[in-house]
Amino acid sequence: RMGRTLVELFYDVISPYSWLGFEVLCRYQHVWNIDLRFRPAFLGGIMQQTGNKPPAMLPKRAEYMVKDIKRMAKYYQVPVRMSGDDFQRIFATGSLAAMRFVTAIDMTNPQYLEPLSREFWMRFWSQHEDISQPENILAVARQAGLSAELSQKALEMVSSPAVKDRLKETTAEAIKYGAFGMPAVVAHYDGEPHLFFGSDRLELLGSVIGEKWLGPVPS
């Protein structure tokens, strides 16, 4: 439709705040006059290139984050289940393989991007299961409704230069917009990009693009 605002969501499935922002924007894409575009990127790359550090590196911040995510999950009605050992899990597994797989699907069958990304978050943040091994990645894909054939093809693409480069490019694009963490939401409004960091800035996003905020679960 005319006059729709393009909103890009740069996210990584290892980031619980990305999940919150993702679900709320998925709800609002039917309420606001926006075109929502999913941009799978690599949080590890953003952290490294901007010199940012994971919040969990600071014990007090990690402590706060566990409580914060619990409250946010309830308020946003997203089944993130946070526990203290999640930080160890993040550092142990990482999300490179998962994000390359998501990127491969984005390149071949983008209609599965939303359910696939959601299933990765569900598996890691709700079920506390691994998302780094090929068999786990295939299980996630199956859960998201992808055929065995399609999943296998995407898994084979994970190690290809095309997929690696695409993920690097998307990550570099997020950084170009000013991102230093995830989620990074970029609204293209009035001829320029506006960056919003985090899942708690969506009310502000609405205000900037002239849309009404109706809470995290607009009815």
The catalytic residues are: 15
Report the relative pairing of strands 34-40 and 184-189 from DSSP bridges. Answer: unpaired
- The values of phi and psi at residue 196, to 5°, are -125, 130
Residue 171 in tokens: 């990550």
Residues 6+ apart with CB under 8 A from 144: 112, 115, 116, 118, 119
> Phi-psi category of 28—alpha, beta or left, where left has phi over 0 and alpha has psi -120 to 50?
alpha
Residues 6+ apart with CB under 8 A from 19: 13, 78, 80, 118, 121, 125
Q: What is the largest CA-CA distance in the chain?
A: 48
- The values of phi and psi at residue 2, to 5°, are -65, 145
